[in-house]
Amino acid sequence: MHQARPVLARWLLAVWALGVAAGSAAAPPAAPAVALATLVEAYWQEHLKLRPLQATYLGDHRYDAELPNNLSTAHLGLEYALEKRYLGQLASIDAQALTGQDALSYAVFKRGRELELEGFRYPAELLPVNQFGGLPQTFAQLGSGSGAQPFATSRDYDNWLKRVDGFGVWVDQAIVNMRRGSARGYVQPKAVVERLLPQLGKLIAADPAQSLFMKPVAEFPQAVPAADQPRLRAAYLAAVTQKINPAYQRLHDFVRDEYLPRARATVAWTELPLGREWYAYRVKLATTTSLTPDEIHQIGLGEVQRISAEMDRVIAELGFKGERKAFFDALRADPRFYFDKEEELLAAYGALKARVRARLPEQFDLAPKADFEIRAVEPFRAAAQATASYQQPAPDGSRAGIFYVNTYDLKSRPKYGMEEVYLHEAEPGHHFQIAIQQELTGLPSFRRFGNYGAYAEGWGLYAESLGRELGLYSDPYSYFGALSGEIWRAIRLVVDTGMHAKGWSRQQALDYLLANSAVGATDAAAEIDRYIAVPGQALTYKIGELKIKELKARAQRELGPRYDVRAFHRAILGDGALPLDVLDAKLVRFIAAQKAAP
């Protein structure tokens, strides 16, 4: 999502974009479906050209040498003009003449352009960095050779050197923007800035030769000629010494010396100028619903109460005498639930992968071709990251997906929580959903590679609920771990809206999370600071899961003996990520078709 900008620049670029469209040569009208396919593919190609990092992550290597200054007024204006121009062109297509996938594509594309344009009201470019994610962290992942940036040929290595040049420009623009933001009241909370500083510090190599950015030249692939290797090794050392280290140092010192003293003590997004409207927009963007923050807060409270009752039942089943909080404390203190070594945790996830895969055909007749690997989160970002995360594979199969496991502070990574984490991030959660979507080659590109948070994270949380069907949650502790994961997502509804719409303090949110879950103190603090940094995103999980479960119950109720869980899962996954209301309408048609089938 790319958000609003200086009014004059926005107006001038809109006029320019409309003028370009009006001045183009007239062409005979095409059939609506053909016109739509042409339009959305042209949009996607322009979209990727403006966002070369996204292209790299998708395995499209045309722009691997580019890193634009996407915080600049000029670049933001190009993004605005792109969205405005294609929304205008879409209006010339007769939506009533479209059916099936074409009708879905039209609805999704129109909604996407409208939401992007609405976002330009809000100056996200003035808040360019936080501890949860952003270019400083992404750049390090790419440059380490362990991410999506390819390092297979001499050209790949030279492409990265060109991309390095863009990073310094971006950093300087980020500093300019943060100064502007501070002057206008757009500044990050202290909790966010204090989390960010250690991350930046770890990326400044005291010995440039030991920088993580030197890893690609530590050992070259066979396709890089021996004659090129000394040149590249010297060029990478020069890049670290003269460009990368200085850029991170400039950003770190600015954040420490100038930005942190100006950081705000408050945490609510609503404390920013236009903050209440901006948070409401972020909620709408994240959930793809019309639910208000107050409505979501109440849903969260109800879910916390429901899940807590089930947790109390399990605690009683285990024979524990005492209140739920005492049980949480006992779990946190019990050494049998924790690994002593990173390798043990990673190996246990590897064994879990084999167990789940053996049972997946019982629930799914649709599966991705792509595989994934299990990898520890990099040390430079581990302290501020959640328990686990997922990175999608390259669509062409050249790079597997990655299930990242956070091995920092092993005493906050309980064994009883592993099964629900695996189901969510790997199979049948994010890896299934995202890899399958990328492999739907019959869909237009913007749908194959697009994302809706409530759909994606809703599916991940729904996947956790399939544990027993997949042979997991076989003992009360692992089932309690599943409930712990679910209540965590319900708590997110309460604390995200609590902090950003109801005036809760950081400590109030942290106390609520710790009192109602078994989450360890390290994860709890990192999570609360995550919600502070990226408001609204945490709402996607429960809101999406509740919708998918609602659709499943409706299908079971209306289809009766005709209901097939594999067909239901195929209906949910088979058209890629969709806004929740579009998904709802699609399932209405699915149920009707199942009823009408002979």
pLDDT of residue 571 exceeding 70:
yes
pLDDT the model gives residue 586: 92
Predicted confidence at residue 332, as pLDDT, reads 84
Provide the pLDDT confidence category of residue 239 given band limits of 50, 70 and 90. Answer: very high
Among residues 209, 241, 265, the one where a domain terminates is: 265
Regarding whether 1 and 141 lie in a shared domain, the answer is no
pLDDT for the residue 518:
79
Higher local confidence (pLDDT), 137 or 10: 137
Q: Which of 20-24, 246-250, 457-461 has the lowest mean pLDDT?
A: 20-24
**523, 541, 559: which is the final residue of a domain?**
541
- pLDDT of 598 reads 83
Residue 272 near residue 278 (C-beta atoms within 8 A): yes
Nearest Cα neighbor of 523 from 410, 447, 431 is 410
pLDDT, residue 384, reads 64
Residue 259 has pLDDT above 80, yes or no: yes
pLDDT for 291-300, tens place per residue? 999 999 999 9
Same domain? 379 vs 240 = no
Kindly report, residue by residue over 357-378, the tens digit of the pLDDT. Answer: 999 999 999 999 999 999 998 8
Is the domain of 305 the same as that of 186? Answer: no
Asked if 138 and 121 sit in the same domain, the reply is no
User: CA-to-CA distance for 120 and 9, rounded, in angstroms?
Assistant: 12
Looking at residue 44, its pLDDT comes to: 97
Same domain? 88 vs 139: no
Q: What percentage of the chain exceeds 70 in pLDDT?
A: 95
Read off φ and ψ for residue 98, nearest 5 degrees.
-95, 145
Q: Is 373 helix (H, G, I), strand (E, B) or coil?
A: strand
Which residues fall within 8 angstroms of residue 109, CB to CB, at 6 or more apart? 36, 40, 43, 90, 446
Q: How many CB atoms lie within 10 A of CB 320?
A: 14
> What pairing do the DSSP bridges indicate for beta strands 401-405 and 388-391?
antiparallel
- Distance CA(240)–CA(64), nearest Å, equals 19
pLDDT (mean) for 449-455: 92
Q: Are residues 43 and 118 in the same domain?
A: yes
Instruction: Name the residue range of residue 86's domain.
Output: 1-22+29-125
Does one domain contain both 446 and 418? yes
Specify the pLDDT at position 15.
32
Q: Are 462 and 433 part of one and the same domain?
A: yes
For the cut 90, the answer to whether the pLDDT of residue 30 exceeds it is no
**pLDDT at site 395:** 87
Judged by average pLDDT, the poorest of 77-81, 213-217, 303-307, 517-521 is 517-521
Question: Residue 20 has what pLDDT?
Answer: 36
User: Is 574 part of any domain?
Assistant: yes
Whole-angstrom CA distances from 518 to 48, 60, 420, 523 are 42, 42, 14, 10
- pLDDT mean over 75-94: 97
Provide mean pLDDT across the span 199-209: 95
**Residues 536 and 547 reside in one and the same domain:** no
Residue 28: pLDDT band by 50, 70, 90 thresholds?
low
Instruction: Please give the tally of structural domains in the chain.
Output: 4
Residue 139 and residue 161 in one domain: yes
Residue 1 pLDDT > 90: no
**pTM exceeds 0.75:** yes
Q: What's the chain's average pLDDT?
A: 92
Q: 96 and 211 share a domain?
A: no
Q: 260-269, 354-363, 405-414 — which is least confidently predicted?
A: 405-414
Q: Which of residues 125, 156, 189 is at a domain's end?
A: 125
Asked whether the predicted pLDDT for residue 17 surpasses 80, the reply is no
For 505, how many CA atoms within 13 A lie in the half-sphere containing its CB?
A: 4
Question: Is the Cα dihedral 98, 100, 102, 107 positive or negative?
Answer: positive
Percent of the chain with pLDDT over 90: 83
pLDDT at 29: 55
Residue 436 pLDDT greater than 80, yes or no: yes
Quick one: pLDDT band at residue 381, thresholds 50, 70, 90?
Answer: confident
Tell me if 65 is assigned to some domain: yes
Q: Taking the CB of residue 138, how many other CB atoms lie within 10 A of it?
A: 15
* Residue 556 placed within a domain: yes
Q: What is the pLDDT of residues 324-336, one digit of tens each?
A: 889 988 988 899 9
Among 18-27, 51-60, 140-149, 526-535, where is mean pLDDT lowest?
18-27
Tell me how far apart the alpha carbons of residues 545 and 553 are, in angstroms, rounded to a whole number: 12
- Clarify whether residues 112 and 193 are in a common domain: no
The reply to whether 407 falls in a domain is yes
**Which two tokens mark 191?**
């909790």
Residue 560 inside a domain? The answer is yes
How buried is 117 (Cβ within 10 angstroms: 0-12 exposed, 13-18 middle, 19+ buried)?
middle
What residues contact residue 152 under an 8 Å CB cut-off, 6+ apart? 221, 223, 224
Task: Give domain status of residue 245, yes or no.
Answer: yes
Higher pLDDT, 28 or 323: 323
Q: Which tokens belong to 309?
A: 């009752």
Closest CA to 471 of 569, 347, 353: 353
pLDDT at 10: 36
What integer pLDDT is reported at residue 523 of this predicted model?
A: 81
First to last CA, the chain: 45
Q: Tell me the mean pLDDT in the region 497-511.
A: 96
Q: Is 93 inside any structural domain?
A: yes
For residues 91 and 188, the answer to whether their CB atoms sit within 8 Å is no
Range of weakest confidence among 56-70, 317-331, 548-562: 317-331
DSSP letter assigned to residue 132 = S
Asked whether residue 55 is domain-assigned, the answer is: yes
